[in-house]
Structure 1
Amino acid sequence: MKPEISVIVPVYNDRMGVEVTLKSLVKQDVPVGKYEIIVADNGSDDGTQEIVKNYAERHQELIKLVIEDKIQSSYAARNMGIKHAKGNILCFLDADMWVEKDYISKAADIFKSPDVKYLGCNVEVITSSDTLIEKHHKATGFPVKRDIQHQHYAPTCCVIVRRDVFDKVGLFDERLISGEDLEFGNRVFEAGYKQFYAEDILLYHPACKSLKKQIKRHFRYGRGRFQLSYFYPEKYQKVFYP
C-alpha cells in the first residue's frame, strides 16, 4: 500500500535528537501503511546512522534511511528525502523535534481540501532550565503565523507541502546554508498558491541551551542572509542590505 504522507527528517550528527524525533513519529494514531518516515542523513559520523538503522530494523514498513553525503546542506538532505518519498503529502520535521500522536491524522484531515498545498504548523519551544539563553529562545521562538502572513513562508522544520508544488516550483536550493525556507516559501507564494497555518498541529522544539550554540545559530542565519542576497540580489539584497 502506497503511503499518503511522507515525513522527511534531515539530520547531521545528532544521534540523541533523531531518536527523540523517531520515538514520537512511530507512535502515531494512524495505521503504518498511511505514512512513512524518511530520515535523510547528511553524512553523519557520530553514530546517528546506526541509531536510525536500529529503528528501521524494528519498524521496517515505516522507516527508511537515505544518505546525502556529497553536498553538505540540510536542504540537499531534504531534497534527497523528497526523491525517495512515496507520499503525495510531504511533512518536514527537524531531528531533535517531537510531535503529538495525532500529528499525521491532523495533517491528513487538513489536506483533504484540495486547496491546501502549503501549510505551516505551530511550534512551541520547550525549555529545560531557567537560563537567559533558553528564555530568549522561547520568547523569540517560531512566529510561524506571522511569517506566513507577512513574509510568505514557514520554517522548514514545521512545513507540510503537497508534492505537486515541488513539481511546479522546483526543489529546495541546495546552495544555501540557511534561509531557503524563506526563498522557497516566496517561490510558492509567487506561483499563486495559498499558504495556510495550523494552530492546532503543535510541534515541539528544544530551546537552545548554550551561548555558543546560540552564537552559531545566529551566525548561520547571517550567512544564509548573505547567500540569499548574493544568489537572489533582485529579491533580497535591498531587504537585508537597504
Structure 2
Amino acid sequence: MNRQLRCTVIVPTYNRVNLLRHTLDSLVGQDLPREDFEVIVADDGSSDGTRALVDSYQDRLTLRYRFQQDKGFRVAAARNMGLRDARAAVSVFVDSGVLLGSGALAAHCAAHEASAGPVAVIGYVWGFADDAQAAAESIDPGDPDGTIRRLAREGRFPDVREWYYDRYGEQLWKLAAPWLVYWTCNASANTAQARAVGLFDEAFQSWGGEDVDLAYRLHRGGATFLLSRDAAGIHHPHPKEDIRSAKANHHYFAAKYDTPITRLRPDHDIFLIEEEIRTRGLLPDHLEPALERKF
C-alpha cells in the first residue's frame, strides 16, 4: 500500500532559477520524510532553464513540473495548476526564493492534523527588508536553520507582520479579518476547501492580492486561521515587482465582494484595518454571510 501524502507543496515560479534552487534545496532538507510530501513547481512561462533545474531534483524530491505559456503575470493561474493536481489533504504555498526551515512542513501538517475542521496556517517569514543587500548578506542559503537562529538571536529582519501580532495578539481566530495577513510566500490550506471556495481568482493578473482574496473566501467558508512560528522560512531578497499594480487589485477585491469590510481595503493600511473594523463596529458574522461548505 502506498504511503499517504501529508502535504503538497506548490511553488510558483517565473525566471527565478537561482532563487528556485534555494527553495528546492530547503525542501530537500525537511525533517518530514520525502515519502510524506510532494512538490509541484508551477512555472508561469520561464525561459531560463527552470525545467532543467527541476529535473535535476527528481532523485531527491517527489516532484512534478507544470508549465503554462508566458502570457503575462499569471501567478494565480500557476498556483491553480498546483491546487488542481495536489494529491494531499493539505496544500502548502511557498514562493520561489523562500527558504523553509527544516521543521516548516512538519509544522504546517501538524497544525492541520490537530484540527477537527479546516484551518488556514500562516507561517513565519524572516528576511523581509527595505535594505535588500543587508538582508542578503545575513542569509546563508545553505543553512536556513542556522540563519533563522542567528536572525532571531540578533533581532534582525523579523517577519513584517510582527507588529500586527504584537498589536492584536496571535490568536488569529479571534480577529475579524485574519485573512489580511495570509500571504502565500509561506502558508497552507485544506486542499479540498481551497478548491471548494473557487481556487485562486485568475482575474488577478498583476502583482498583489490574489492570496488575500483566497484567504477571505477560506475565512467565510469556515476556516480557522492559525499562526505557526514553527513553520518558519526566510524570504531571500530579489528585485521587487511593480507594487503600483496592487492598488488596482485592492479596488477589484473591494468591488468584487462589496461589503463594509472589503471596502476598507483600498484606502487603509493593511495592518490597521482590524482596528478600523473594531472602531466602526463592523461585525463580519452578520455583515458577511458564511459561504456554503462543500468539503
TM-score between the two structures when normalised by the length of structure 1: 0.83
* TM-superposition CA deviations, 1:164-191 (whole Å, max 9, x none): 2124312010111320122111111112
Name which one, 1 or 2, has greater alpha-carbon Rg. 2
Q: Distance in 2 between matches of 1:14 and 1:107?
A: 25
Q: Post-superposition shift, 1:126?
A: 5.9
CA shift digits 1:93-126 (9 cap, x unpaired)? 0000101112222222222222352111111116
Letter of the 2:233 counterpart: L
Distance 1:241 1:106, change over 3 A: closer
Deviation at 1:197, TM superposition (A): 0.9
Task: Give the match for residue 104 of structure 1.
Answer: 105
- In structure 2, the residue matched to 1:81 is 82
Describe how 1:78-227 pairs up with structure 2 within 5 A. 78-113=79-114, 114-125=116-127, 129-130=133-134, 138=157, 141-143=160-162, 145=165, 149=175, 151-153=177-179, 154-176=182-204, 177=206, 178-208=208-238, 213-214=239-240, 216-227=241-252
Distance 2:31 2:158 in 1: 31
Closer, same or farther in 2 for the Cα pair 1:236/1:65, shift >3 Å? same
Which of 5, 12, 19 lines up with 1:3 in the alignment? 5
**Of 14-23 and 231-240, the range deviating more from structure 2:** 231-240
Query: 1:220 Cα deviation (Å)?
Result: 3.5
TM-score in terms of structure 2 length: 0.69
CA contact (8 A) 2:100 2:232 kept: yes
Contact 1:116–1:196 at 8 Å: present in 2 too? no
Between stretches 35-44 and 112-121, larger displacement belongs to: 112-121
Gaps of 5+ in 1: none
Residue of structure 2 equivalent to 1:42 = 44
Segments of structure 2 that go 5 or more residues without pairing to the other structure are 139-155, 269-295
SS of the residue corresponding to residue 43 of structure 1 reads coil
> Aligned partner of 1:69: which letter?
Q
The AA in structure 1 aligned to 2:265 is V
2:265 is aligned with 1:239: yes
RMSD of aligned C-alpha atoms? 2.8
**Who is 2:280 aligned against?**
none
Distance 1:42 1:142, change over 3 A: farther
Task: Give the counterpart of 1:14 among 13, 16, 31.
Answer: 16
Q: CA deviation at 1:16?
A: 0.5
The superposition leaves residues 12-37 of structure 1 with CA deviations (integer Å, 9 ceiling, x where unpaired) of 11001100000010121232211111
1:65 to 2:65 alignment: yes
- Tell me the distance in 2 between the aligned counterparts of 1:241 and 1:97: 29
> 1:68 & 1:152 partners in 2: Cα distance?
32
> Which range moved further: 148-157 or 168-177?
148-157
Q: Which residue of 2 aligns with 1:52?
A: 54
Q: Which stretch shows the higher mean deviation, 196-205 or 120-129?
A: 120-129
> 1:241 Cα deviation (Å)?
4.6
Counterparts of 2:263 and 2:224, CA distance in 1: 25
